[in-house]
Chain A
């Protein structure tokens, strides 16, 4: 089956720092989403980004579908950015959303 790999697995930042999270996938995918899971378990949709670049405030994402990767940029990090960031890809066959293992982000004040 498709492999979805996220890096780094863990990241500790000082408040105000910038970071880049990466998602590699092993096969062609129809769609891709980035989620943030907060400490209470809520999965918050950050970006629906099958291709191209999108920005939302301090966050932006880029997906290069032909090279099978996506990047999530977090600028001027805040403590509320802490949590787990998941990349998830939608497989046309099987009709399912498959998650990577996630990146655990801790932002210290």
Chain B
């Protein structure tokens, strides 16, 4: 079965500093990996995805993520955080080659609350 772990419930960072939100995954086949952001009382918005190719993926609002196959990680990063980045961030994985046929299902982590302070 596919799974995602976000080890930090909350990440605090000062505005202007770099930020990292961690994500590790487990799949039996090859992964498609995603990051979504959720603002209060709103739905999830797509940030970026890794399908294949370059391990460094760039997405919306200056965010990027690095796929590391050996460490089964897909950490979200931003060089300079903004107060407006404060939100709940979800990592998700889709196993495209798993024996359980999970190719059509996206599994989410439990979310990491990012708080950017002045």
Q: Do A and B come from one complex?
A: no
State the B residues within 8 Å of A (CB): none
Binding site for B on A (CB under 8 A): none
